[in-house]
Structure 1
Amino acid sequence: MDKKLYTLIGIGLLLLMVTSPVTAQLNNAGDIIQAAATEEGRQDANTLLKAYFDPVGSGFGSDLNTGWFNTAKSHSVLGFDLTVSASVARVPGADRSFNVQELNLKELEYIEEESTSPVTPTAFGGDESNTTLGAYFSYTNPQTGEQQQERVDFEMPGGTDVPYVPAPMVQASVGFVKGTDVTVRYVPPLDLPNDIKLDLWGIGLKHDITQWLPGGKLIPVNISLQAGYTKLNSSIAFDVDPEQGSDVENNYDPSTWEGQKAAMRSNAFTINALVGKTLPFISFYGGIGYETSSLTIDTPGSYPVTVPNEDFPDQSNQPKKIEKIDNPIDISYDDNNSFRGLVGTRIKLAIFNITASYTLSKYPVGQVGVGFSFR
């Protein structure tokens, strides 16, 4: 496949990260990382970001488990098809916001004021948040000798106000003996603009079981079993800058913060039972299945955090200072499992296909595609 086409596919596959909160809100969410100055603060930062990005885990996993087939019928021997499709998962209303007071945060506290609310959007929720969290630390005032308390505030980010998780896909299928199709998804490692990196691969099998049933040749529909696995690795650069101000001591060179990025790894698996009818120009199918997926997001690199300045009482006029922490965020979503029902159709025009499907699951998915096929 042409390198330019690989790049276009790669850019499409990163649509989720480029146009959705994984990047659109990433720098704002990065402010939460600055709360990770202590071990408890780091736990709070991971807890908050896990709740904020929760729809990404379920939605993207549902997308990756979609589009494996466009008929219940298998290819004849060495029959072939190539399909490019786009899937869009819908985020249910309950997953578009969360309450920070229900997260059992250890160090950060919800700052209750007249204009604030403990309910804040997830990455695919509303575009505004009125939630403020604060971390407190104490120091001795060198002029008065009294204990004073300082508070560092963190504003929760808003979402995109678009409750949909998109993901394009390209794949090829070929028919082998005994009504078995092998499907391959593949995008080689790509280095794209804005320090975006991506690679993806997947493999699926579909087997026609009608032939094994009593009187199978007389059954007027095709019955098949299908399974597919997809693995995605990707990363994108972002910036978390140190707090500025005359009351903050910062002894780090700006190059310390280079190389910050968010890395995402996703695995998705589905198994389905299908029944359908293929006619000369159109095919219909329906089925039931089970899907599971996992997602991890971490933040390689060094990041600035604000901490009390232990030199403040003696030789500094700055009660706060900047320290660095490495890879502060490491969150995972491992329980994205659900049963699903699905229906779909394919319109065949000579060798060209137009496909569409709808999957009803925890995160419903609509999918459309185009491609071509032989035999």
Structure 2
Amino acid sequence: MKTVVSLVLALFGFQVILSQSNINDLLAAGLEDAERYTNDYLAPVSEGAMHSISNGWYNSGESKPLGGFEISIIGNVSSFKNKDDKKAFTLDTADYENLQFVDGSTARPVSTALGDLDGVRVFVEAEIAPGITEREEFELPSGLASEDINVIPSAFLQASVGLFKGTEVKARFFPKINTDDIAAGLYGFGLQHEFTSHLPAERLFPLAISGVIGYTHLDATYDFSTTDIIAGQNQRIDVVMNTWVFQAIASTKLPVINFYGGIGYMTGKSSTDILGTYIVQSGPFQQTYTDPFSVEQDASGVRANIGTKLKLGFFRLNVDYTLAEFNNLAVGINFGFR
């Protein structure tokens, strides 16, 4: 169970992000600087998570007949190991009101929530009274790669049921996990329709061709402790993600081993709310913030995948690989009838 929880935490980047350097320290630089930095820092992990949870909607171009069903355990891993552009962004102090690099740089790469750049120290400084200047230094957070995590995982249960000729409905679910620090869950709904089921001689046609639409919703809350720089109460991050997938798919129609593939489009939106009370108690910009800001990220893009499915009675196993902004490997263990 501990491993499962760790994977869920890694999905949002929370476990590593907050353990290395609390992102709320940035509020010591002022609200606008903190919001700008947080948006750039979290954007890649939000995008990758949306790609990850959007996979696994199908393993065949054939829709199930009336009464046919399949229950699946699906695991996804979306890789960012070779995506250096997702692991860092250039922080230009000219775009910030107060944030400066301790080493005197004006612009340099810093880690995103997926990255591994550490040891980057920044400071804020201002005159708080005539002739009196106050300065506060802190370290920018690193990301998942610094802990040798180079994939964004997701997992869920999925059920598919045939309703009428050529049409099946799907539902996916990941039960809410609650620990001392995090609560996370996922659900979604999908629809598949097989166009080749309307052909006069469908049994003789060698391929099954379908269209799939899938919606996935994920929400999570992470409560984290205060730091020496920021005090407060009920400090937490709330994340909500919603994605849609539109896919055209085709598969062979053999009795035991089949091959399938598809091409389509994914679009999604995530919202990250920084909630609670934050009391900046050190540095030149001491102030209290309540629910200080929210950041939003969008993700979209064309995707294509290819896979294979083994069917042995009521047991089925499928594996597929998706080419997208974040490439994904999906494995499904399935139990079905018809």
TM-score (norm 1): 0.81
How do residues 1-375 of structure 1 correspond to structure 2 at under 5 angstroms?
Answer: 12=4, 15-18=7-10, 21-30=13-22, 32-36=23-27, 41-91=30-80, 92-101=83-92, 104-113=95-104, 118-126=108-116, 128-140=117-129, 147-161=131-145, 162-187=149-174, 190=176, 192-212=178-198, 216-243=202-229, 257-306=232-281, 323-334=287-298, 336-375=299-338
SS of equivalent to 2:275: coil
Name the structure where strand makes up a greater proportion of residues. Answer: 2
Rate the CA distance shift 1:27–1:323 in 2: closer, same or farther, 3 A.
farther
Rate the CA distance shift 1:44–1:101 in 2: closer, same or farther, 3 A.
same
SS of equivalent to 2:51: helix
> If you compute each CA radius of gyration, which structure gives the higher value, 1 or 2?
1
CA distance in 2, matches of 1:17, 1:231: 17
CA distance in 2, matches of 1:117, 1:165: 29
**AA matched with 1:122:** T
Contact 1:35 1:305 in 2 (8 A): no
CA distance in 2, matches of 1:301, 1:230: 27
CA distance in 2, matches of 1:175, 1:273: 18
Q: Which runs of 5+ in 2 are unaligned?
A: none
1:153-202 CA-to-partner distances (Å, cap 9, x unmatched) read 231111222221111121100011111110011345x3612232233221
Contact 1:225 1:271 in 2 (8 A): yes
RMSD of equivalent CA atoms? 2.6
Deviation at 1:138, TM superposition (A): 0.9
CA distance in 1, matches of 2:261, 2:26: 49
Rate the CA distance shift 1:356–1:225 in 2: closer, same or farther, 3 A.
same
Rate the CA distance shift 1:57–1:154 in 2: closer, same or farther, 3 A.
same
Aligned length: 333
CA distance in 1, matches of 2:327, 2:94: 27
**AA matched with 1:326:** T
Contact 1:194 1:236 in 2 (8 A): no
Q: Could you say which residue in structure 2 is the equivalent of 1:143? A: none
Compare 41-50 and 105-114 and name the one that shifted more: 105-114
Contact 2:177 2:185 in 1 (8 A): no
Deviation at 1:323, TM superposition (A): 3.9
Deviation at 1:98, TM superposition (A): 1.1
CA distance in 1, matches of 2:292, 2:115: 25
CA distance in 2, matches of 1:24, 1:37: 21
CA distance in 2, matches of 1:374, 1:218: 22
Deviation at 1:351, TM superposition (A): 1.0
CA distance in 2, matches of 1:132, 1:236: 25
Contact 1:82 1:371 in 2 (8 A): yes
CA distance in 2, matches of 1:109, 1:204: 48
Q: Could you say which residue in structure 2 is the equivalent of 1:3? A: none
Rate the CA distance shift 1:191–1:225 in 2: closer, same or farther, 3 A.
closer
Contact 1:241 1:257 in 2 (8 A): no
1:302-338 CA-to-partner distances (Å, cap 9, x unmatched) read 1231466xxxxxxxxxxx695431122411102x110
Deviation at 1:22, TM superposition (A): 1.7
Deviation at 1:259, TM superposition (A): 2.1
Contact 2:136 2:282 in 1 (8 A): no
Deviation at 1:18, TM superposition (A): 4.7
Q: Which runs of 5+ in 1 are unaligned?
A: 1-7, 141-145, 245-255, 309-319
1:123-159 CA-to-partner distances (Å, cap 9, x unmatched) read 2211x4232222112133xxxxx51222212311112
CA distance in 1, matches of 2:39, 2:94: 10
TM-score (norm 2): 0.89
Deviation at 1:71, TM superposition (A): 0.9
CA distance in 2, matches of 1:75, 1:216: 14
**AA matched with 2:323:** L
Contact 2:306 2:321 in 1 (8 A): yes
Deviation at 1:214, TM superposition (A): 7.2
**AA matched with 2:76:** S
CA distance in 2, matches of 1:214, 1:133: 70
Contact 2:309 2:319 in 1 (8 A): yes
Rate the CA distance shift 1:206–1:13 in 2: closer, same or farther, 3 A.
farther
Rate the CA distance shift 1:107–1:11 in 2: closer, same or farther, 3 A.
same
